[in-house]
Structure formats: structure tokens, C-alpha cells
């Protein structure tokens, strides 16, 4: 369009100033030039609208993919990453793609297409001027490449520093109580100041490089345009070129360099987007620990569809009597020669672990820290998948069952339950979205949570704040237990469910758990051995293996690992009879 506009303008100037044409003569040309001008601005406006819509759609889709993938990766991945860095990538990182899509990409495509088109037009109008453009164009591209490499390195460093600063700041906020307790809050504030200063310096380096790029490109483009103007002027004075094509070439020449100059100005925005996209796709390319339908090394199961796998599990279960929330399912659990290691095999957690749990049995896993107890729970929760070996529910391999379907059979009470920024009722409904208020109250009653909930300002409609900040540790634990009551699942996993409770509250919760564990398979991760005493079977773990198993009385009758754990737990050596009767 601009080429047509340049030609019409050159023709009008030629007719009016050199051929003394009247206004009536040039009105058709002026009308066509105005039409081309309106069409050009309309195309630019539509292009901006289209680019913005594309950027908005891309950011929304990419952010959704990121969140979905991180959720699929589960706690095993997020616990190894810094939460602040993941938040920075998901929010600021995705947002930087706006400039990449709306500014950098259009400028990049124009920098490749527009000069080529103008070069062809100039070749038609004046082949001699083409020689100047052919020489100057690649030189500008070379300059841009040299400076752009520096800009790319600085931009990538700036993005990493921003991510690291976000992660550090979130760590500081989450640990502010600890910092104040040890008198280190001012020191950390100075660290934040230093990080911010360093980040600011890097930002200024990026801007300085962007300015240098634009300045060099402006100088080079101006010099090349002057060369074309000089050679055309000489040839025009000697009558070697007609006026109309000469003026058209002079008007087109700056347009030849304009897309390259604009690309130089937008280059640092594109580099920022590339740096962000590198980290974004590194997360998206992280394989899910339990990819559905894909066999892992050491697993021997057929690839089946989610529906067929869950049907197989369901058919293998025998329905038993259950509360009004729905029929529970009956299935045995078999863990057969399972191996698992963290950090890509560098930190073994389970080494040939095998355990069979009949339906309805209460099993306590005990052992020192690092024995592999929590790893067993994570495997059953499908947060991670075995490196080798199999886990069966009835006759169906867990690896062949959709994790979302499988988790409907599990109620989980972790040692540190997480509550979200919402009301009490909202947090309890995480267990069962369709639960009525009567069912929620019944679950709270069973968990002995009703007294403190009733004392809250708005009862079940009271906002709890992030991580349940307005509740004590014991209150958080009671709400987690209430969730387990509300879910009413056949498999119950307790990870020190009586932690953070005073003695009186612990007795109440023990009574509540006794009711909750009835007619269910229960796996207790027992750090406090008192919880394990009432289990049907106690499994003692050391370095990812089972070293002893039996009930409390049987194990206390031996001079083994369990007896040593109890002695350590009690803090004194007592008579065998007293320990058995505890």
C-alpha cells in the first residue's frame, strides 16, 4: 500500500510543480492516494487488534496448560522447586509473552517481508539505487545480530534474576516469624535490597543495550538513505532518471530501513519473551511421574483406557454396607518388590519393598526419619510412580488406573494439612463438592471440630485466610480429619493425624479416628509411636525395607528394631510387662 501511495505522491508532485497541471487534473490521483492511506491505517489497526487477541488467547491457554501440568506433576515436583519461582513463571513469565506476540513477532515478519518487497519495487523503478540497498541491508542485519546477542544474554539473566528474587521474597514472607525470632529480619531485608539493586542494574543494562541497538540502526539507516538521495540527485540533475521514479525511490528508501529499525527497538521485548518461554516449556516438558497409559521401567502392565482400567478395578471390588454418602468398595492392597529413588535415582527411598494389606486391616508404618514411610504413602496417593515393581488394588495395577479415579477411593489426613483462602465450608467441600451443610456439620461433629467452628465470627462462612492462618495447628488438623469423614473413602491414609493436638484434644481425636477407621483399610504413618500401638499390624522400616512386622505385643516380646524405637520414644527403659500393657 505504501508503494502505491509513494507512486501517487510522486506523480502528483511531478504534474503540479513540473508540468503545471491544474487541481482538477490531480484530484483523481489525490483521491486514490487518500483511499490507499485510509486502507493502510485500517490494516495496521486490524493487525494490532488481531495480535492482541492472539496474545490474550495464547497467555490464557499457556497459563492453563502450565497450571494443569504442574498439578499433574504433583507434590513430588513442586517440593523440589521454589514456589516463588514457579509463581513468577506462571504470572510474570507468561505475561511477558504479550510483547513477544503483539510487538516482536509482527516486527520480525515485517523486517523480513517489507524490505524484500521494497527492494523489488526499487529494482523496477531504478536498478542503480538497488545496489545501495543490497549493500546496506545485510550490514544492518549483521549489526543487529552482533548487538542482539548481547541483548539476549542480558535479558535471559534478567529473567532468571527476577524469578530468583520472587522465590526469595516468598520464602522470606513464609518464614517471617522464624526470621524475627532469630533476629535476622533486618539482615534479610538488606539481602532483598541488594537483590533488587542487582536486578535494577541488569534492567538498566538491558535498556542501555536496547538504546545502543536503536541508535546504531538509526545512524546506519540514515547514512544509507543519504547515499541513495545523493546518487539520485546527481543523476536527476544530469537527466539520467525521470523525476517521478526518482522521487518514488527517495520516498521508498526510508521505508526499506524502517522495519529493520522497528525490529531493533522491539528486539529486547522478544528476547524477554524467549527467555520466559524457555523456562515455561522446560516445565511443560517435564514428564509426569505417573503418565497414564505409558509403561515405566520395572512395571509390567498393559496399556488400557481409563474407563476400562477403572471398570476392571470396580469389578474386582465387592460392595459392603456403608453410610448414606454411597457404597464403599472392598479391595486388598499388594505392594510387590517396589523400588523408588528421588533426585533421578540419586537418593534411594524404597529398596524392594513388599507388603500385602487385606481389606479392613489397620497397618502402621514406623521407623526412623528417612526410612521410606512417606514414600509408601506418596506411591499409594499416586503422587509418584514406582521405578520398579508393582502395586495392585485387588487384581488391577495402580499404574493402569487413572489417578483421578483412584484417588476417589482414598481419604488422606496429612501431618501438615493445607487450607485455602476461603470459608470453612469451602475447605471442607474439597472432599466432596456435592456435600450438603447437614453432611458438612456431621463430619465436623465427628472430628470434634464443631465447638471451635461455632465460635468463629461467621461459623462455617468464616474466611480462613491463606493456609488457614486464623486457626491453630490443632484446629487445622481437626478440619483435615473432618474432610476424611466427609469423603467416606474405603482407604484411609493417616500421616500423624494427631499431631499438633494437646492431650485432651488427642483423646477426642483418637475416639473420632476409631469411628473413622471402622470398615476401612487404614495405613498410618506413625512418627509418634503411641498411634501405632492399636494397629492390627505394625511394619518397621529401615532404609526402604521391612525389618520387622507384627502387632505391638508380639514385637515388644522381641529384642528388635521396634523395641528399640519404643524405648527411644518413651525415653526410658521399662519392664516388658509395663510396655505391653501400655
Output the DSSP codes for 484-512: HHHH--SEEEEESTTTT--HHHHHHHHHH
Contact, 361 vs 492, CB < 8 A?
no
Please report the pLDDT score of residue 358 as a whole number: 93
Please check whether residue 86 lies inside any domain of the structure. yes
> Rounded distance, CA 135 to CA 139, Å?
7
> Rounded distance, CA 575 to CA 47, Å?
85
Burial class of residue 234, CB neighbours in 10 A (0-12, 13-18, 19+): exposed
β 347-357/362-366 pair status: unpaired
Which string of b and e fits 95-119 if b means at least 16 CB within 10 Å?
A: ebbbbbbbbbbbbbebbeebbeebb
Contact, 450 vs 444, CB < 8 A?
yes
Instruction: Quickly count: other Cβ atoms within 10 Å of residue 69's Cβ.
Output: 15
Please report the pLDDT score of residue 408 as a whole number: 87
Main-chain phi, psi angles of 20, to 5 degrees: 55, 45
> Rounded distance, CA 513 to CA 494, Å?
10
Report which secondary-structure segment, H or E, holds 542.
Answer: strand 537-542
Encode pLDDT of 354-390 as tens digits. 999 999 999 999 988 888 998 999 899 888 889 999 9
Contact, 304 vs 400, CB < 8 A?
yes
The counts of H helices and E strands in the chain are 22, 10
The DSSP 8-state label assigned to residue 295 in this structure reads -
> Rounded distance, CA 364 to CA 522, Å?
8
Angle between helices 503-516 and 473-487 (to 10 degrees): 10
For the chain, residues with pLDDT lower than 70 are 1-8, 12, 14, 79-80, 146-152, 169-185, 188, 268-269, 289-329, 465-469, 497-505, 570-582
Residues 280, 69, 81, 483, Cα dihedral to 10° = 150
Please report the pLDDT score of residue 183 as a whole number: 64
> Rounded distance, CA 254 to CA 261, Å?
10
Please report the pLDDT score of residue 391 as a whole number: 93
Main-chain phi, psi angles of 276, to 5 degrees: -65, -45
The DSSP 8-state label assigned to residue 529 in this structure reads G
Give how many domains the chain has, as a whole number.
1
Please check whether residue 379 lies inside any domain of the structure. no
Please check whether residue 456 lies inside any domain of the structure. no
Please check whether residue 85 lies inside any domain of the structure. yes
Per DSSP, helices labelled H in 329-461 are 373-380, 403-407, 424-428, 437-446, 450-455
Main-chain phi, psi angles of 81, to 5 degrees: -110, 165
Burial class of residue 28, CB neighbours in 10 A (0-12, 13-18, 19+): exposed
Please check whether residue 254 lies inside any domain of the structure. yes
User: Cα 520 to chain center, whole Å?
Assistant: 35
Secondary-structure percent of the chain, ordered helix, strand, coil, rounded to 5: 65, 10, 25
Closest CA to 115 of 125, 123, 105, 127: 123
Please report the pLDDT score of residue 581 as a whole number: 47
Place of cell 489497526: 45
Closest CA to 11 of 274, 324, 242: 242
**In a 3-state reduction of DSSP, which class is residue 296?**
coil
Contact, 317 vs 331, CB < 8 A?
yes
Q: What residues pair up with 193 in beta bridges, in sequence order?
A: none
Output the DSSP codes for 304-363: --HHHHHHHHHHT---B---TT--B----EEEEEEEEEETTTTEEEEEEEEEEE-TT-EE
The set of cell numbers assigned to 359 is 481389606
Please check whether residue 315 lies inside any domain of the structure. no
User: Cα 195 to chain center, whole Å?
Assistant: 24
Distances (CA, A) of 336 to 303, 391, 541, 546, 550: 19, 6, 15, 12, 19
Please report the pLDDT score of residue 502 as a whole number: 65
Please check whether residue 199 lies inside any domain of the structure. yes
Please report the pLDDT score of residue 368 as a whole number: 86
Contact, 96 vs 277, CB < 8 A?
no
Encode pLDDT of 100-121 as tens digits. 888 888 888 888 888 888 888 8
For residue 141, the domain's CATH number is: 1.20.1560.10
Closest CA to 353 of 376, 383, 380, 378: 376
Domain holding 259, by residue range, is: 54-283
Please check whether residue 346 lies inside any domain of the structure. no
Burial class of residue 61, CB neighbours in 10 A (0-12, 13-18, 19+): exposed
β 537-542/545-550 pair status: antiparallel
Amino acid at each position: 500500500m505504501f508503494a502505491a501511495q509513494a507512486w501517487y505522491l510522486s506523480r502528483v508532485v511531478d504534474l503540479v510543480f513540473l508540468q503545471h497541471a491544474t487541481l482538477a487534473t490531480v484530484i483523481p490521483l489525490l483521491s486514490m492516494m487518500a483511499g490507499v492511506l485510509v486502507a493502510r491505517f485500517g490494516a495496521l489497526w486490524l493487525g494490532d487488534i488481531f495480535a492482541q487477541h492472539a496474545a490474550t488467547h495464547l497467555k490464557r491457554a499457556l497459563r492453563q496448560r502450565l497450571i494443569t501440568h504442574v498439578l499433574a506433576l504433583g507434590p513430588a515436583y513442586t517440593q523440589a522447586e521454589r514456589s516463588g519461582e514457579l509463581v513468577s513463571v506462571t504470572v510474570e513469565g507468561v505475561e511477558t509473552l504479550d510483547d513477544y506476540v503483539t510487538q516482536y513477532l509482527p516486527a520480525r515478519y515485517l523486517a523480513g517481508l517489507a524490505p524484500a518487497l521494497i527492494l523489488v519495487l526499487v529494482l523496477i523503478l531504478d536498478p542503480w539505487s538497488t545496489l545501495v540497498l543490497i549493500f546496506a541491508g545485510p550490514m544492518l542485519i549483521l549489526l543487529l545480530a552482533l548487538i542482539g546477542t548481547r541483548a539476549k544474554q542480558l535479558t535471559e539473566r534478567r529473567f532468571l534474576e527476577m524469578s530468583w528474587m520472587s522465590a526469595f521474597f516468598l520464602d522470606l514472607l513464609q518464614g517471617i516469624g522464624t526470621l524475627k525470632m532469630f533476629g535476622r529480619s533486618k539482615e534479610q531485608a538488606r539481602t532483598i535490597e541488594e537483590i533488587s539493586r542487582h536486578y535494577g542494574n541488569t534492567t538498566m543494562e538491558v535498556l542501555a543495550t536496547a538504546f545502543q541497538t536503536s541508535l546504531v540502526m538509526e545512524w546506519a539507516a540514515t547514512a544509507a538513505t543519504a547515499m541513495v538521495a545523493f546518487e539520485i540527485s546527481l543523476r536527476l540533475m544530469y537527466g539520467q532518471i525521470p523525476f517521478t521514479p526518482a522521487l518514488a525511490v527517495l520516498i521508498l528508501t526510508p521505508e526499506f530501513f524502517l522495519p529493520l529499525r522497528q525490529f531493533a527497538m522491539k528486539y529486547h521485548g522478544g528476547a524477554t519473551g524467549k527467555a520466559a518461554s524457555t523456562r515455561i516449556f522446560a516445565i511443560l516438558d517435564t514428564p509426569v511421574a505417573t503418565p497414564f497409559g505409558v509403561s515405566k521401567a520395572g512395571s509390567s502392565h498393559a496399556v488400557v483406557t481409563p474407563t476400562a482400567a477403572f471398570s476392571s478395578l470396580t469389578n474386582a471390588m465387592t460392595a459392603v454396607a456403608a453410610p448414606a454418602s454411597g457404597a464403599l468398595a472392598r479391595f486388598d492392597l499388594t505392594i510387590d518388590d517396589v523400588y523408588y529413588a528421588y533426585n533421578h535415582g540419586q537418593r534411594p527411598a524404597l529398596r524392594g519393598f513388599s507388603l500385602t494389606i487385606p481389606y479392613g486391616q489397620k497397618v502402621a508404618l514406623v521407623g526412623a526419619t528417612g526410612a521410606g514411610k512417606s514414600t509408601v504413602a506418596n506411591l499409594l496417593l499416586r503422587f509418584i510412580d514406582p521405578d520398579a515393581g508393582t502395586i495392585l488394588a485387588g487384581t488391577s495395577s495402580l499404574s493402569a488406573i487413572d489417578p483421578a479415579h483412584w484417588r476417589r477411593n482414598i481419604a488422606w489426613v496429612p501431618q501438615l494439612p493445607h487450607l485455602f483462602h476461603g470459608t470453612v465450608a469451602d475447605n471442607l467441600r474439597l472432599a466432596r463438592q456435592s456435600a450438603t451443610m447437614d453432611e458438612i456439620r456431621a463430619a465436623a461433629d465427628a472430628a470434634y471440630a464443631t465447638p471451635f467452628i461455632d465460635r468463629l465470627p461467621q461459623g462455617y462462612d468464616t474466611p480462613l485466610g491463606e493456609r488457614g492462618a486464623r486457626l491453630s495447628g490443632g484446629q487445622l488438623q481437626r478440619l483435615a480429619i473432618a474432610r476424611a469423614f466427609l469423603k467416606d473413602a474405603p482407604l484411609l491414609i493417616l500421616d500423624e493425624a494427631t499431631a499438633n493436638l494437646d492431650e485432651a484434644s488427642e483423646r477426642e481425636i483418637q475416639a473420632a479416628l476409631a469411628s473413622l477407621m471402622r470398615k476401612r483399610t487404614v495405613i498410618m504413618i506413625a512418627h509418634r509411636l503411641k498411634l501405632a500401638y492399636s494397629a492390627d499390624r505394625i511394619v518397621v522400616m529401615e532404609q526402604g525395607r521391612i525389618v520387622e512386622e507384627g502387632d505391638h505385643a508380639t514385637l515388644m516380646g522381641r529384642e528388635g528394631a521396634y523395641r528399640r524405637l519404643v524405648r527411644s520414644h518413651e525415653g526410658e527403659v521399662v519392664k516388658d510387662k509395663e510396655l505391653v500393657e501400655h
